[in-house]
A and B are shown apart, each in its own frame.
Chain A
Amino acid sequence: MKVKILQWHAVASWTWDAQDETCGICRMAFDGCCPDCKFPGDDCPLIWGACNHSFHLHCILKWVNSQTPQPHCPMCRREWQFKG
């Protein structure tokens, strides 16, 4: 007897390849979304800073925009720079 696979429909979950579980700003899970978003994933991406801390893009943008003149990372207080 031989088994021929005609189609294999698998199930997987995605996750952000980040060190942390939750966003340090909104305290929501990275795999969820920021409070302003409805859909996780592409609609509410993560962003990494030069200090290797990650946040929801929307969260950190709000933070950066409110910090003048020089924004700092909310976690380590280093100068905030988007990781290239």
Chain B
Amino acid sequence: MAFDLDALDSLGSEAIDEILNSWAGFCACTDAIIRGNGDLSAGSKLAPLVASLCKHGLRSLVEDHFLQALEETFKTNAVMMFWQHFEAFHNSSPSEMPNVHIIEDWPQTVLIKALEEICLEKCYQEKCLLILVHSFQSYEENLSLETGDLNLCESNLMSRYQLMVSAVLLATLPSYFPEILRMYFKKKLEELSTVIAGVSDDVCESQNEMDIDDNYSKKNISKDHKLVKDIGKVVRDLRSLGFMSMSEDAYASAIFVLLKSQVNDLAGDEYRNPVLESIKEWIQAVPLQFLHALQSYLGDSVDYDNGSSGLKSPLASLVSSFPGVNMPSELLVRWKLRLEYFAYETLQDLRIGKLFEIIVDYPDSSPAIEDLKQCLEYTGQHSKLVDSFISSLRYRLLTAGASTNDILHQYVSTIKALRTIDPTGVFLETVGEPIRDYLKGRKDTIKCIVTMLTDGNPSGSGNSGDSLLEELNRDVENQEGADNDDNINSDDKQAWINAECWEPDPAEVDPTKGSNNRRKIDILAMIVSLIGSKDQLVNEYRVMLAEKLLNKLDYDFDSEIRTLELLKIHFGESSMQKCEIMLNDLIDSKRTNANIKASIPQTSQTEQGENDVSLNLLDATIISTNFWPPIQAESVNIPTSIDQLLSDYAKRFHDIKTPRKLLWKKNLGAVKLELQFEDQNMQFTVAPIHAVIIMKFQDQTSWTSKNLAAAIGIPVEALNRRISFWVGKGILAESVGTASNDHVFTIADGMIDANRNGITNGNSEELSMADEEGENSVASAEEQLQKEMTIYEKFIIGMLTNFGSMALDRIHNTLKMFCVAEPAYDKSLQQLQSFLSGLVSEEKLEMKDGLYFLKK
């Protein structure tokens, strides 16, 4: 404050006396008013004193002194007491949490009481201040100044006072106070939420009878509700103390906590129902109703204040300055957006955290996916999804313990689910990458994919929704639809339509990757791209198809034909040519078989002995060897009766189809036979080799493995492998023979009846003939490759002898350059690599720093 020294000089001693007297009087009077405990009678004396001081230009001094006096009193009286109320809470909260729960009830009672007290004090002080204002007023009226100034002075003083109050409170604010507020609001809101839930239930029930406006009845309840009144009062008190932002923080956080727990309750581990709508409804029903009620309650109270004294806090004025009607709605809209965003985010985080599980039961959990999609549209936090999902994939799926089948199923589900969330496929690309990389490193990936492609209804694990066959089907339907379109539209028109549909790539796209292959999310294409090339897939399919067809007992291959047709549409006719020939062989065989059967003279059954088998029992699959995958031929001595039949059949074939003749693959096929014991009969469907083995036991009940192998004409190891089938069924018993490595097999007649009974019950079951490893009648694609590559082994060895050491791609290029004659070198780099690593493991080669050289 600047002192006007000249003015001080000009004062006479009279004036100085007057000033001193007035000042002393003013100080005494101020004391009396402020500490007067409600006695405002001294107020009347204040006016003349103030007037005289003002006359000498000491108005600012008066104001300062008065406010300071107010501050002192407020600090000593009200604030100390106010905080004392909460000390109990403070003492108990950090160490003994249980205590807090016991006394959880007290914040509301204590808080209300404390707030009431301090507000009373404040109200009183405001009245004191008003007296001062009135003194100024009367002084200024005497000087006939403009009244406009007066209001200014009043609001000026009031705002200074309000500022002072807030400053004092905030300066002494204990750190636990916000926590108390939060607890209070949380509790109140929970009560309110249960009340409202009850009400809306009632409303729902009564809606059948009367058409009640939902909103109206709810609003009615919550506006006049005691709870709302309580809360409203607390909020108003807090506001008047300058805790506006703190109180808002507190109830906002309470609402959010409540919302979060609500979302968790509703969503939880439930993926089969959409929850977003019910969450939205809940937001509408509970927090927004509460806020609405609160706003309308506070709005009323502010109006009331305005009317009576014109007193209002500068902070509260922010709210009340909104015109009555618009205020709540605008605030509410803002609140609604905030709450919904929060709900979206919470739900999204919840779903993203559980995305792996959700995708595991994908077709059932599609509601959860839909919810997630909506959430992500709102929040745009796709990257969060990608990161979290990839990490859970790495942790849970892409491990050595997971079977390739499971990984593939999960991959397909992931593709389907993410296709819903993000039709552009950008995120799928990122998410799929680790899976793809991992699957490429697995050996049986191709096999699993082909199985998935061909098995329409896998009887075992996995639901049919995952089957790729279905995808094939759908793809075909789509293509047919597209074909029709093409017929109608000219190219120009199509181009125009495409151009109109063009959309820029989403912002998240990695610009280093091209955008061409992103357009269409084709599950099949994505799966096939795993394998690397179509040819590999077709080859694998061919092997599996051969395996299946050769083990058939009858000529039932409709499902194979259907699958092949679908595959032809997808992969092109030319690449499926060989498979088509294979199926055609089957069709021809069926016809030929019928023709041959017709050529048999119908001899009467009695002519044949019991043991003989007529030609009627013999069916044959006649294949065009060149078009089938290499077939593992094993020589086996078929019993003469059967051998007779076979040559008879071949002769008849030769008669019908001259000049073609048959070459039997005696180890292939399927035999249905019945074992006749004294007490029971058993039926089996087995491979011919099994049949041959068991037939040997008709004449001789016990065989040593050496003799039996010699009789059948197969190696002992092969015999031991095959005979274990019958041992496993309990038909044959194995015992150690005279020689150490010789086994004796005997018919287990009546020995393990119980065991056999178990089988008899299930004798209708089809026994798979190729379930044991290494028993496949068709060489697998891998073995084929190995066989083909051995031709080049000499070349490679020769090369390495000349050059010392060579890198992989150099070997590859050299082979390509020089092996042009039959058979030309047409293998890929990967195939060569796997072959070379095979040679390394056979210790023919060594590999170091990417260079191969001969083992010394």
Are A and B subunits of one complex?
A: yes
Chain A: residues with CB nearer than 8 A to chain B?
1-18, 29, 31-32, 38-42, 46, 48
> Looking across the interface, which residue of chain A has its beta carbon closest to that of B695?
A3
> Looking across the interface, which residue of chain A has its beta carbon closest to that of B665?
A11
Among A11, A13, A39, A42, residue most surrounded by chain B Cβ atoms (within 10 Å)? A11
Check if A13 sits within 8 Å of B659, measured CB to CB: no
18 contacts between A and B (CB under 8 A): A1-B701, A2-B610, A3-B691, A5-B617, A5-B691, A7-B617, A9-B554, A11-B622, A12-B622, A14-B653, A14-B660, A14-B662, A15-B625, A17-B658, A29-B626, A31-B626, A38-B580, A39-B581
Check if A32 sits within 8 Å of B626, measured CB to CB: yes
List A contacts of B688 (CB < 8 A).
8, 10
Check if B613 sits within 8 Å of A15, measured CB to CB: no
Check if B676 sits within 8 Å of A7, measured CB to CB: no
Task: Assess A4 versus B662: contact at CB under 8 Å? Given A11-B668, A31-B626, A41-B588.
Answer: no
What 8 pairs between A and B have smallest CB-CB spacing? A11-B668, A13-B625, A7-B672, A2-B676, A12-B662, A17-B659, A4-B674, A6-B672
From 697 to 753 in chain B, residues with beta carbon under 8 angstroms from any chain A beta carbon are 697-698, 701, 747, 749
Given A8-B619, A9-B672, A13-B624, 4 other A-B residues pairs in contact with their CB atoms under 8 A: A8-B669, A14-B624, A31-B624, A40-B624
> Looking across the interface, which residue of chain B has its beta carbon closest to that of A42?
B588
List B contacts of A42 (CB < 8 A).
588, 657
List A contacts of B554 (CB < 8 A).
9
Q: How far is the CB of B359 from chain A (nearest CB, A)?
A: 43
Distance, CA A11 to CA B634, complexed state (A): 13
List A contacts of B663 (CB < 8 A).
12-15
Q: How far is the CB of B666 from chain A (nearest CB, A)?
A: 7
List A contacts of B649 (CB < 8 A).
10
Distance, CA A81 to CA B645, complexed state (A): 38
Check if A3 sits within 8 Å of B550, measured CB to CB: no
> Looking across the interface, which residue of chain B has its beta carbon closest to that of A17?
B659
Distance, CA A8 to CA B666, complexed state (A): 11
> Looking across the interface, which residue of chain A has its beta carbon closest to that of B662?
A12
Q: How far is the CB of A11 from chain B (nearest CB, A)?
A: 4
Check if A6 sits within 8 Å of B665, measured CB to CB: no
User: Is residue B800 within 8 Å, beta carbon to beta carbon, of the partner chain?
Assistant: no
Task: Assess A14 versus B676: contact at CB under 8 Å? Given A3-B698, A9-B671.
Answer: no
Task: Assess A12 versus B672: contact at CB under 8 Å? Given A1-B749, A40-B627.
Answer: no
Distance, CA A6 to CA B691, complexed state (A): 11
Check if B642 sits within 8 Å of A41, measured CB to CB: no
User: Is residue B315 within 8 Å, beta carbon to beta carbon, of the partner chain?
Assistant: no
List B contacts of A17 (CB < 8 A).
654, 658-661
User: Is residue B106 within 8 Å, beta carbon to beta carbon, of the partner chain?
Assistant: no
Q: How far is the CB of B618 from chain A (nearest CB, A)?
A: 5
Check if A10 sits within 8 Å of B621, measured CB to CB: yes
Interface string of B668-706 (1 = CB under 8 A from A): 111111111100000100001001001101100100000
Interface string of B742-768 (1 = CB under 8 A from A): 000001010000000000000000000
* Chain B residues within 8 Å of chain A by Cβ, number: 61
Q: How far is the CB of A1 from chain B (nearest CB, A)?
A: 5
List B contacts of A39 (CB < 8 A).
581, 584
List B contacts of A1 (CB < 8 A).
675-677, 697-698, 701, 747, 749
Q: How far is the CB of A46 from chain B (nearest CB, A)?
A: 7
> Looking across the interface, which residue of chain A has its beta carbon closest to that of B678?
A1
Distance, CA A16 to CA B658, complexed state (A): 8
Distance, CA A11 to CA B654, complexed state (A): 16
Task: Assess A3 versus B676: contact at CB under 8 Å? Given A10-B646, A31-B626, A32-B627.
Answer: yes
Check if B659 sits within 8 Å of A18, measured CB to CB: yes
Q: How far is the CB of A53 from chain B (nearest CB, A)?
A: 14
Q: How far is the CB of A13 from chain B (nearest CB, A)?
A: 4
Check if B550 sits within 8 Å of A11, measured CB to CB: yes
Check if B674 sits within 8 Å of A8, measured CB to CB: no
Check if B673 sits within 8 Å of A6, measured CB to CB: yes
Q: How far is the CB of A34 from chain B (nearest CB, A)?
A: 13
Task: Assess A7 versus B588: contact at CB under 8 Å? Given A1-B747, A41-B660.
Answer: no
Check if B668 sits within 8 Å of A10, measured CB to CB: yes
List A contacts of B331 (CB < 8 A).
none
Q: How far is the CB of A12 from chain B (nearest CB, A)?
A: 4
Check if B622 sits within 8 Å of A13, measured CB to CB: yes
Q: How far is the CB of A67 from chain B (nearest CB, A)?
A: 25
Q: How far is the CB of A23 from chain B (nearest CB, A)?
A: 13
> Looking across the interface, which residue of chain B has its beta carbon closest to that of A29?
B626
List B contacts of A8 (CB < 8 A).
613, 617-619, 642, 645, 669, 671-672, 688, 691
Task: Assess A3 versus B622: contact at CB under 8 Å? Given A38-B577, A41-B588.
Answer: no
Distance, CA A71 to CA B715, complexed state (A): 54
Among A9, A16, A32, A40, residue most surrounded by chain B Cβ atoms (within 10 Å)? A9
List A contacts of B657 (CB < 8 A).
14, 42
Among B610, B645, B649, B661, residue most surrounded by chain A Cβ atoms (within 10 Å)? B661
Q: How far is the CB of B587 from chain A (nearest CB, A)?
A: 10
Interface string of B455-492 (1 = CB under 8 A from A): 00000000000000000000000000000000000000
Check if A12 sits within 8 Å of B673, measured CB to CB: no
Q: How far is the CB of B26 from chain A (nearest CB, A)?
A: 119
List A contacts of B620 (CB < 8 A).
9-12
> Looking across the interface, which residue of chain B has its beta carbon closest to that of A4?
B674
Check if B695 sits within 8 Å of A11, measured CB to CB: no
User: Is residue B552 within 8 Å, beta carbon to beta carbon, of the partner chain?
Assistant: yes
Check if B698 sits within 8 Å of A41, measured CB to CB: no
From 610 to 641 in chain B, residues with beta carbon under 8 angstroms from any chain A beta carbon are 610-611, 613, 617-627
List B contacts of A41 (CB < 8 A).
585, 588, 624, 660
